[in-house]
């Protein structure tokens, strides 16, 4: 069964690629879910160096851009065809036997080319750039491995610093007794979109709830999310959680998930935040 995943921290391009991919899958009439992967620790292990990235059956089809629906359909169909045929490198010996030559089904002439080229017959170590050393495939592998190791080191450093700051902030943040608490939780690596949204949230609240912020009925915080917070709210990326607190305990809460869908429209973004926060603030007035 095919697996389709969109890798990214939750930025605008990530959401757009996910929607384009879902539409492509629908038009292809495939019964395959499109899953979002937002954990930076999983990016490197999947071979994703630039986000957003589209991955099918463990193979990175594209990264760093959002193509058209038709382009995505073509990539998915091509990947699906390669999978059904056992892959470009799958069962190379069987292909060679059935075609009378190279695994690339070129017949006798290809076989002679393979012998002279020292590889599959494709001149560069076969369809997959593998073949014997000297065909160039090993150079690509070394570069790829080095890039993955660098990315792993960066992600590890970011996550470690995030955990340290999360632990410090968890001690310093006071517990609100009564009122509404709007918290923008930082989870994973910070991106320009994340910083932009944090600023819009603060501007929206200060512009519409100046009195509530002043008298303490509403509090806004921007803090790192620790492991317990992530589990409690079921977070997969940065989130704006609005909670109603009574006698020092959380009575109810809501994750304003649409901030990711609206991060390209400042006016709509702020209107959505104000409307949702007002529902809670009006309830405690």
Residues 107-142 pLDDT 10s = 444 444 444 434 444 444 444 444 444 444 555 566
Selected residue with higher pLDDT from 272 and 172: 272
| pLDDT of res. 241 | 94
pLDDT digit string, tens, across residues 22-41: 999 999 999 999 999 988 77
| pLDDT at residue 155 is higher than 80 | no
| pLDDT of res. 112 | 44
| pLDDT at residue 185 is higher than 50 | yes
| DSSP H or E run through 265 | none
| DSSP H or E run through 7 | strand 4-7
Q: Lowest mean pLDDT of 124-128, 138-142, 197-201, 206-210, name the range.
A: 124-128
| pLDDT at residue 258 is higher than 80 | yes
pLDDT digit string, tens, across residues 67-112: 999 999 999 999 887 655 554 444 444 444 444 444 444 444 444 4
CA distances from 180 to 111, 128, 235 (A): 74, 58, 20
Q: How far apart are CA 200 and CA 52, in angstroms?
A: 23
Confidence of residue 144 (pLDDT cuts 50, 70, 90): low
List the one residue out of 41, 27, 35 whose CA is nearest residue 58.
Answer: 35
Confidence of residue 61 (pLDDT cuts 50, 70, 90): very high
CA distances from 139 to 24, 46, 134 (A): 35, 20, 9
CA distances from 102 to 91, 120, 199, 238, 264 (A): 12, 6, 59, 51, 51
Computed over every residue of the chain, the mean pLDDT equals 75
């Amino acid at each position: 069964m095919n697996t389709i995943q969109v890798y990214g921290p939750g930025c605008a391009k990530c959401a757009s690629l996910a929607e384009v991919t879902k539409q492509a899958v629908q038009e292809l009439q495939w019964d395959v879910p499109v899953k979002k992967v937002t954990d930076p620790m999983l990016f490197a292990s999947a071979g994703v160096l630039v986000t957003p990235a589209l991955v099918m059956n463990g193979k990175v089809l594209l990264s760093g851009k959002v193509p058209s629906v038709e382009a995505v359909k073509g990539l998915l169909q091509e990947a699906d065809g390669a999978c059904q045929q056992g892959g470009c490198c799958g069962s190379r010996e069987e292909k060679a036997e059935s075609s009378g030559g190279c695994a690339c089904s070129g017949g006798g002439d290809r076989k002679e080319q393979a012998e002279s080229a020292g590889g599959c017959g494709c001149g560069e170590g076969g369809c997959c750039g593998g073949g014997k050393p000297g065909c160039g495939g090993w150079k690509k592998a070394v570069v790829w491995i080095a890039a993955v190791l660098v990315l792993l080191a960066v992600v590890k450093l970011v996550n470690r610093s995030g955990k340290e700051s999360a632990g410090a902030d968890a001690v310093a943040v006071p517990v609100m007794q009564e009122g509404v608490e709007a918290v923008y939780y930082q989870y994973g690596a910070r991106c320009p979109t994340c910083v932009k949204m944090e600023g819009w949230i603060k501007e929206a609240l200060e512009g519409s709830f100046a009195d509530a912020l002043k008298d303490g009925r509403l509090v806004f915080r921007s803090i790192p999310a620790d492991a317990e917070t992530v589990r409690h709210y079921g977070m997969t990326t940065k989130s704006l959680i609005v909670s109603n607190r009574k006698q020092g305990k959380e009575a109810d809460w809501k994750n304003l998930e649409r901030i990711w869908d609206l991060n390209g429209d400042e006016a709509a973004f702020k209107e959505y935040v104000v409307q949702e926060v007002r529902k809670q603030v009006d309830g405690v007035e």
